[in-house]
Amino acid sequence: MGMAKVLCQFLAIFSLLTISFCAENFDVRKHLSTVTRYNAVKDVADSNFVPSTIPSECTPIHINLVARHGTRSPTKKRMRELDRLATSLEVLLSEAKRRLPEEDEALKKIPSWLWGWKSPWKGKKVGGELIPQGEEELYQLAIRIKEIFKCLFDEDYHPDIYTIRATQIPRASASAVSFGMGLFQGKGSLGPGQHRAFSVISESRASDTLLRFFESCASYKDYRKNQEPAVEKLKEPILDEVTSALAKRYPLNITRQETSSLWFLCKQEASLLNTTDQACGLFSPYEISLLEWTDDLEVFILKGYGKSINYHMGLPLLQDVVQSMEQAIKAKEEHHTPGSYEKARFRFAHAETVVPFSCLLGLFLDGAEFAQIQRDEALELPLKPPHKRNWRGSTVAPFAGNNILVLYSCPTSDASQYFVQVLHNEIPVPLPGCDYTDFCPFEVFKERVVSPHLKHDVNSICNVKQEQPEPCSVTSKFLKLFHFLFSQKKDDEAQFHKHKHEL
């Protein structure tokens, strides 16, 4: 019994140390869903996956990049939300001051930064633009790609050899320019950096079916419009839970909307300003993990595997990638003169582009789930923290998040064989359709990854009026799942500290 008592005491102390360690080492900047900065997560890799060793005789002959724009400022709409938050906080603080004596201990718990707080973007008339840190993300990405695949960038620049495309949204085209400046630095004669001019191609927003397919697909827009209220409804239990915790922690009558705005402020401060001890400091690590999860659910339902139309409408982009590879193979087979054919195709767009494209490739899935999407079945929602999940907005589509597909030529005794390597955020990732390898024979890639999607006609998917689902059928399914998940609240919070390495 004596040993058992000692063991229990040891476990209790260890548990306390674990909780303390978790809180001290929890970096909120890695948990901001799609508002996460690229450098915070670009080196995140699946420790259970060992990338392929590319045979020395294999040479890269073409590269495709599909990238999200870099870190940007809040949009005008969200800046107005922060201005409203400032007004609300002023009222809440005044009410607390009237209600409580000046020396009340509860009043002293209110963080000093809240008194007189104003939005860092107050008075700003425009928003949504690429900020200097966002420029740097794409600039450095280009330098790393050029260094790793040196043989692809030994030609003089020509727009037919190095194609750069961007959407007409300024932050995307600015990202393309930042990338091009890094890629072609030292290749020209402009200024001390020996820069050179280069072309960035953009299609009209209304007709950009390659990079802004989500804007030209009528059926998808209907789906999103119908589902957005349901998604907001799904978030409410978590927002209510966190709001209740904040109300107990601070003597402020905070509402669900104010909690939502404070979470948005936390993400903006941590991502854009590198400030983690103000709005983010109001929440516990577990509460942040829950709020992050709600954002990830929204990305999953409205942009990802939650509905097949989310990614099937991006099929023209996948076909464009495959076409560029086939052209590169043809140029190789027919011994075209170097400098007469395309070596790289770079595209800069949005999370609404990168997420569906990742889904078309089958990323972030296990075997059973990959079979489900090939049958056009919606997947179960990502598990609630502290359970481990593959689907995290911070790694699926952070600012400057990207997919790189490299086409290799591997000579044999009598011919060349071609392979595709897929990298997500510059890290090799396994393809379920290619037996979970990151180095897939090109023909297998076409047969198992691309061809199953080709049975869908994008025009029909996007233009034909979809059948209306049974009333509340989608929402009811989500709510039933949420009821089960939320019933585990107490156990989940305890497990969070036990499984801190999974967050």
The kind and range of the H/E element at 19 are helix 2-25
Full 3-state SS string of 374-409: HCCCCCCCCCCCCCCCCCCHHHHCCCCCEEEEEEEE
Whether the pLDDT of residue 489 is over 90: the answer is no
Whether the pLDDT of residue 499 is over 70: the answer is no
Distant-in-sequence, close-in-space partners of 413: CB < 8 Å, separation ≥ 6: none
Percent of the chain exceeding pLDDT 70 equals 86
* Least confident residue range of 205-219, 370-384, 466-480: 466-480
Q: Is 237 exposed, middle or buried (0-12, 13-18, 19+ CB in 10 A)?
A: middle
CATH of 25-73+128-503, one of 3.40.50.1240, 3.30.1310.10, 3.40.1190.20, 3.20.20.70: 3.40.50.1240
Q: How confident is the model at residue 12 (pLDDT cuts 50, 70, 90)?
A: very low
Q: How confident is the model at residue 378 (pLDDT cuts 50, 70, 90)?
A: confident
Report the C-alpha gap between 425 and 50 in whole angstroms: 16
Report the C-alpha gap between 362 and 442 in whole angstroms: 16
| pLDDT value of residue 18 | 40
Structure tokens at 32: 């901001």
Whether the pLDDT of residue 415 is over 80: the answer is no
Mean pLDDT, rounded, for 321-328: 98
- Return the higher-pLDDT residue of 467 and 176: 176
Report the C-alpha gap between 140 and 129 in whole angstroms: 19
Q: At what angle do helices 132-148 and 170-183 cross, to 10 degrees?
A: 40
| Pairing state between β 344-349 and 59-68 | parallel
Mean pLDDT, rounded, for 438-462: 94
How far from the centroid of its chain's Cα atoms is residue 265's Cα? 18
Read off the pLDDT of residues 277-317 as tens digits, 9 standing for 90 and up. Answer: 999 999 999 999 999 999 999 999 999 999 999 999 999 99
Q: Are 96 and 251 in contact (CB under 8 A)?
A: yes
| Block residue for tokens 């983010």 | 280
Mean pLDDT, rounded, for 331-348: 94
Selection from 387, 361, 385 nearest residue 373 by Cα: 361
Q: Are 321 and 279 in contact (CB under 8 A)?
A: no
Whether the pLDDT of residue 343 is over 80: the answer is yes
The per-residue pLDDT of the chain, averaged, comes to: 89
Read off the pLDDT of residues 351-370 as tens digits, 9 standing for 90 and up. Answer: 999 999 999 999 999 778 99
Report the C-alpha gap between 157 and 144 in whole angstroms: 18
Q: How confident is the model at residue 493 (pLDDT cuts 50, 70, 90)?
A: low
N-to-C CA span, the chain? 37
Mean pLDDT, rounded, for 130-158: 96
pTM metric for this prediction: 0.89
| pLDDT value of residue 8 | 45
Report the C-alpha gap between 496 and 365 in whole angstroms: 23
Read off the pLDDT of residues 208-254 as tens digits, 9 standing for 90 and up. Answer: 999 999 999 999 999 999 999 999 999 999 999 999 999 999 999 99
H helices of 250-366, in order, are 256-272, 285-302, 309-312, 315-333, 351-361
Torsion of CA 16, 19, 20, 22, to 10 degrees: 150
Residue type, 476: S
| pLDDT value of residue 360 | 96
The kind and range of the H/E element at 367 are helix 367-374
Mean pLDDT, rounded, for 380-386: 94
Selection from 32, 138, 38, 33 nearest residue 401 by Cα: 38
Structure tokens at 450: 């691309």
- Return the higher-pLDDT residue of 326 and 19: 326
Whether the pLDDT of residue 41 is over 90: the answer is yes
- Provide the residue ranges of all domains of the chain, joining segments of one domain with +: 25-73+128-503
| pLDDT value of residue 103 | 80
- Return the higher-pLDDT residue of 395 and 106: 395
Selection from 354, 455, 452, 447 nearest residue 400 by Cα: 354
Report the C-alpha gap between 345 and 325 in whole angstroms: 10
| pLDDT value of residue 143 | 97
| pLDDT value of residue 483 | 52
Residue type, 117: W
Peptide bond preceding 60: is omega within 30 degrees of 0, i.e. cis? no
H helices of 184-217, in order, are 213-216
Mean pLDDT, rounded, for 399-406: 98
